[in-house]
Amino acid sequence: MTTLTVDMSAPSPQKPNQLDRHGYLFGLKIRASMSPLLHKTIYNELGLKWEQQLFESSDISEFLDLIKDPNFYGASVTMPNKVAIMRYLDDMTEECREVGACNTIFVREQDGRRIFCGTNTDVVGIRESFYQNVPDPDAVFHDKPAMVIGGGGAARSAVYALQKWMRATKIYLVNRDASEVDAVIAECTARGYGDRLVHVATVEQAEALEAPGAIVACVPDFPPKTEEEILARAIMVTFFKKERKGSILEMCYNPNPYTEIGGIAEREGWQVILGTEALIWQGLEQDRYWTGLPLNELPVKAVKEVIAARLSQISKL
């Protein structure tokens, strides 16, 4: 498998004006996802009779049968399938390969046959969440340490975005499970960008370190209970309390984007960016691949408005 170079300026083989095409959101616990709403908004604005359907499953063989349909345009892939699906792809982008997880499948044509390709738009979602919401990146996070909370696939995407595009000098990793952090460091080192990762394992270590400018929280929203969870939370709060404040992206937005971690950070003076921002920008990036249209031809404003409306309903609940 080679790295795929995608020319987004080239005509899309997906033929955006084609009617009655369908894609999938493939994963578990997806009933409350805003992804179908986001993409429906885009397709309605573009006048496309396209639809993203839920396929709540971890059965990859069944999914591979479904995507053989000639009217399939692409899929969002979520847990627990982001890593498992990779071995079945014909090709993948640099982001997909370097992160080690695929959240997007798109179709291209080669020698008269359909090629199923994978990419990772989570990294773009994370990057744009900061650049679209932080007025002065130089003052807030450029050329400063960053921090990632968690040790799963989203944490890997955050590490990639922070080191690749956001000029992090080093990246602190905080997580309840030390073995997960070790795995992230080992994988990133093998891929050539693990030298700036620092596992912060104690409060004393956190107290001695420079404040991060950007933080990405990639853990579920629940109060700490175990000894390891309580320690991870204490380390996190130690960084929140440092004199220099920055911006934190709270990736958890399901079932509610207003999380306990976000609340703590906000009370300590941090700018909190909701995870729905990452959803918006990674979703727009997905539709760049699926429709072949550049970002300036996609209905960014309409997407923001529909997600904001959904957020207002959640906050009222």
Residue 150: Cβ within 10 Å count: 25
Tell me: pLDDT of 15 over 70.
no
Query: Residue 127 has what DSSP assignment?
Result: H
For residue 37, give the H/E element and its range.
helix 35-46
Find the range with the poorest average confidence among 22-26, 49-53, 139-143, 249-253: 249-253
Domain limit, last residue, from 120, 137, 167? 120
Same domain, 104 and 140: no
Q: How confident is the model at residue 307 (pLDDT cuts 50, 70, 90)?
A: very high
Domain-located, residue 208: yes
Same domain, 26 and 107: yes
**Helix 178-190 × helix 153-164 angle, to 10°:** 50
Same domain, 186 and 59: no
* Peptide bond before residue 137 is cis, with ω within 30 degrees of 0: no
The CATH number of the domain holding residue 45 is 3.40.50.10860
Domain-located, residue 281: no
129-149 pLDDT, tens digit per residue, is 999 999 999 999 999 999 999
Domain limit, last residue, from 85, 105, 120? 120
The token pair at 185 is 């460091």
Domain-located, residue 293: no
Domain-located, residue 133: yes
Domain-located, residue 110: yes
Domain-located, residue 312: no
Same domain, 144 and 237: yes
Domain-located, residue 218: yes
Same domain, 137 and 109: no
pTM of the prediction?
A: 0.92
CA 252 vs CA 18, 112, 249, 279: distances in Å: 35, 41, 9, 10
Same domain, 206 and 66: no
Same domain, 59 and 176: no
| Nearest alpha-carbon partner for 73 in 17, 5, 120 | 17
Q: What integer best gives the mean pLDDT of the chain?
A: 92
Structural domain range at position 66: 21-120
Q: How confident is the model at residue 314 (pLDDT cuts 50, 70, 90)?
A: confident
* Peptide bond before residue 224 is cis, with ω within 30 degrees of 0: no
Same domain, 137 and 263: yes
Q: How many domains would you assign to the chain? A: 2
Same domain, 164 and 254: yes
d(CA 125, CA 127): 6
Same domain, 132 and 187: yes
Same domain, 137 and 192: yes
Domain-located, residue 3: no
Same domain, 69 and 155: no
The CATH number of the domain holding residue 171 is 3.40.50.720
